[in-house]
Chains A and B, each alone.
Chain A
Amino acid sequence: MDPRYEALYEALKNVHGYIYPNEISLTWSILIVEYPYITGLVAGAFILASLNRVFKIKALEPTYIISLLTAFAFLLVATMPLISHLGKPLRFWEIMITPHSTSAMAIFGFVYLWYLMIVLLLEIWFDYRYDFVIWSREKKGVMKYVYKILTLGAMGTSEKDLKWDKKIGYFITVVGIPSAFLLHGYVGFIFGSVKANPWWSSVMMPVIFLFSAMVSGIALVLFVYMGINFIRKKVQNMPTLDSIGKYLFYILIIDFTLESLDQIHRIYEANESFEIISMLVSGKLFFTLGIMQVTVGTLIPLLILGLFQFFKPADKIRKIAYFIISIFVLTGVFFMRWNVVIGGQLFSKSLHGFTTYNLGFGGQEGFLMALFWMIIPFGILAFLLWLLPPWKKTVH
């Protein structure tokens, strides 16, 4: 038989009930799951750094620079899953040179650039400018010139220069907090504004995305901070870990409450899409939503972190627990994005049928490609930590 019909037969095996022909295979794959996930990690890590700077939380200080560098490393990769999802990846820039004001993605390009260039890069630059000058004097060979270029020619090291660095850096942080909210709120908006999809269309979406972003960003910083200490064979700073754990706990509560509110609202409203959505949640999304997102990603971390607020076991146990919690939360938030992106495409607009998503292993939108874009930011982070080691920074 003609391979096209073979393919149709195979595809129809994945269909249950009545669906429209263009819904048989999903348009948005795992790469589109990664896009809000990575963007969320960036916004979350940055917000943690900013809160630390604005509210001057002493215990979080060791994570400040690490959070910024982590946010930067992930931000550089945030659009890559989107670009590699395109049919013509090399034409991605066209959206930027002929943007349309009604195109949510075109405007995202500018929100992204604002955040990358005006907020994150500048904040890191002002934090490191003085060190660049010092390193450009101390280092030899190529590195001397690399650091010299990074100073952009601003070589002043006087008290006055340092004061300006701090003042402008602080100002950028203050501008950066709403910018980080905007960046990830906007990603939520992209999904929340799809009015044809009852699983997405909700004004709660930007807020939910934002808080889950903060949860995942804090968990990522916890993971990276512990990882760096482990690799550098340094003792884990328990007050810092406890502090991150405390903030993770608070934000997780807000995130869980907001997501529950959204679900309760759906359940009480019970509009015409409710039946198919409840079948989706109890059927095709049971593992990714019920088990991975809610149980592993939210309830278990909440229980353990909650317990730590009242009862503190030995440092060694807390350390292991924090590490496991960071992985659980990171996994949970990944599946939250999965449930939104993939879940929203699994049921038919007719509200009478389902399709199935089969994640391929290789190929342009397969597991390997997704894994690649998840590993790259860690590589970039390792490079940044080598180029801009926070532990060699001058303490003022």
Chain B
Amino acid sequence: MPQQIKKLLIVFTIVFGIFFIIKYALKPKSFGEFGHYRGLAIIENENKQVKYVGIEACNECHDDIVSYKKEGPHVNLQCEVCHGPGYLHIQDPETNKLIIPSKRENCGICHQKNAARSENNITQVDLKEHNVENKCIDCHKSHNPYEFKD
């Protein structure tokens, strides 16, 4: 065997050796346990605290608002979509207050005019033109927006 090949074989063995050591050392231990991903990822996700409690939990205290909301177009919305996660609030309602969104932009998250949104499903408003001086909730009742305030 020519000396060039001998020397190259040594170098390649070292390079491949390093690669396999790196692969062995850095590959997460639980990788491939269930599929082509880190097995521990499932347990990590399982252990995460659930922060959204759902409309049934809200209904326990705020049944008047929940039933009023059912009369309007926001019927299918979870309360926490606008008010934020309620897991702390249900533990101690006095200390942990929920967000009460009142800015135009808050409503704009869903209602801002966007060509990619279906006008038939979600009412679209151009926030730069529609009643610019006022907040949405100055006129609309947020839990049932087609009813107007006095």
* Chain A contacts to B: CB under 8 angstroms: 1-2, 4-5, 8-9, 12, 15, 17-21, 24, 93, 97-98, 100, 117, 122, 125-126, 129, 152-154, 156, 160-161, 164-165, 168, 353
Contact = CB atoms under 8 A, between A and B. Distances in A.
Given A2-B108, A5-B127, A153-B7, 18 more contacts: A2-B105, A5-B105, A5-B112, A12-B114, A12-B115, A17-B115, A19-B116, A20-B116, A21-B117, A98-B27, A126-B4, A152-B7, A152-B10, A154-B8, A161-B2, A161-B3, A164-B2, A168-B4
A122 B8 contact: yes
A126 B3 CA distance: 12
Given A1-B105, A18-B116, A9 B128 contact: yes
B43 interface: no
Contact of B112 (A8, A19, A100): A8
Nearest to B6: A154
Q: Which of B27, B108, B116 has the most CB of A within 10 A?
A: B116
Nearest to B28: A98
A115 to B, nearest CB: 15
B71 to A, nearest CB: 29
A168 B128 CA distance: 71
Given A9-B128, A98-B36, A122-B8, A156 B3 contact: yes
A21 B114 contact: yes
Contacts of A161: 2-4
B5 interface: yes
A156 to B, nearest CB: 5
Interface in B21-74: 22-23, 26-27, 31, 36
A97 B114 contact: no
Query: Interface size bucket, B side?
Result: 20 to 34
B18 interface: no
B103 interface: yes
A164 B3 CA distance: 9
Q: Which of B2, B6, B11, B114 has the most CB of A within 10 A?
A: B2
B15 interface: yes
Contacts of B10: 152
B110 to A, nearest CB: 12
B128 A129 contact: no
Contact of A117 (B15, B112, B116): B15
Nearest to A129: B4
Nearest to B15: A117
B4 A154 contact: yes
**Lowest 5 A-B CB distances belong to which pairs?**
A2-B105, A164-B2, A152-B7, A154-B7, A21-B116
The B contact surface, by secondary structure, is helix
Given A19-B115, A97-B22, A97-B23, A5 B8 contact: no
B3 A154 contact: yes
A5 B27 contact: no
A323 B4 CA distance: 40
A117 B15 CA distance: 10
Interface in B61-109: 103-105, 108
Nearest to B117: A21
Given A152-B8, A154-B7, A98 B112 contact: no
B61 to A, nearest CB: 31
A98 B31 contact: yes
A98 B108 CA distance: 42
A177 to B, nearest CB: 21
Contacts of A18: 115-116
B7 to A, nearest CB: 4
B4 A2 contact: no
A93 B25 CA distance: 13
Nearest to A350: B116
Interface string B111-130: 01011110000000001100
A156 B105 CA distance: 76
Nearest to B113: A12
Contacts of B11: 152
B4 A5 contact: no
A9 B113 CA distance: 9
Contacts of A2: 103, 105, 108
A15 B69 CA distance: 35
Contacts of A12: 114-115
13 contacts: A1-B104, A4-B105, A5-B127, A12-B115, A15-B115, A24-B116, A98-B36, A125-B8, A152-B7, A153-B7, A160-B2, A161-B3, A353-B115
Nearest to B5: A168
Contacts of B116: 18-21, 24
Nearest to B4: A154
A1 B127 contact: yes
A85 to B, nearest CB: 22
A98 B112 CA distance: 43
Nearest to B24: A97
A154 to B, nearest CB: 4
B131 to A, nearest CB: 14
A240 B10 CA distance: 39
A13 to B, nearest CB: 11
